[in-house]
Amino acid sequence: MTDISCAPRPRGLQAGARFEAGERTVVIAPDLRVSERSVERWRRAWREGGEDALRSSGPASVPKLSDDQFALLEQELGRGPAAHGFEDQRWTLARVQAVIGRRFRMRLSVATVRRLLKRHGRSWQAQARRALEREKLSTLHHRWQVDRLRNGASYG
């Protein structure tokens, strides 16, 4: 477990402490790696509401799918891609997006689907696919070259 006092403070709160110390905007902005405009906005909020005005109000939006809806999505994905009309047994983000659209009547971007899966502990990894036809051709070509060399043909 980590001590709360050791946790890094959000940049707005760091700026608030520096406002109290009387530091200027042009000094604070580069140190916190933000624009001067952000520091000015934080300073205005700090003047009006103190340190509480600099605290985060939470995420900008609520999750797109509730936990119950995500549990239903997992059941749907567990049925497999073929049960949803896809030809092969691979889940892609676009396919998960389509299932969400059909099942929950909502449109999510592919990036949002990826974040949703990641938030629930699912990793998105592209499957390592090997071109079997190409591998077969390469093997056949190699065998042909070996046979030519064994029979005394020149290489070239």
- The per-residue pLDDT for range 95-104, each reduced to its tens digit, is 999 999 999 9
Rounded CA separation 52/54 (Å): 5
Nearest to 93 by CA among 80, 105, 83, 108: 108
pLDDT at 128: 53
Rounded CA separation 150/87 (Å): 45
pLDDT at 1: 42
pLDDT at 4: 45
DSSP code at position 147: H
- The per-residue pLDDT for range 26-85, each reduced to its tens digit, is 999 999 999 999 999 999 999 999 988 888 776 666 667 888 999 999 999 989 899 999
pLDDT at 5 over 70: no
Nearest to 90 by CA among 76, 77, 100, 104: 77
pLDDT at 145: 59
pLDDT at 124: 65
Average pLDDT, the chain: 80
Rounded CA separation 133/144 (Å): 16
pLDDT at 3: 45
Rounded to an integer, the average pLDDT of 89-115 is: 91
pLDDT at 104: 92
The DSSP line for 41-92 is: HHHHHHHHHGGGGGS----SS--SS-HHHHHHHHHHHHT-GGGGT-SSS---
Rounded CA separation 97/110 (Å): 6
DSSP code at position 153: P
Nearest to 45 by CA among 12, 20, 18: 12
Percent of the chain with pLDDT over 70: 70
DSSP code at position 5: G
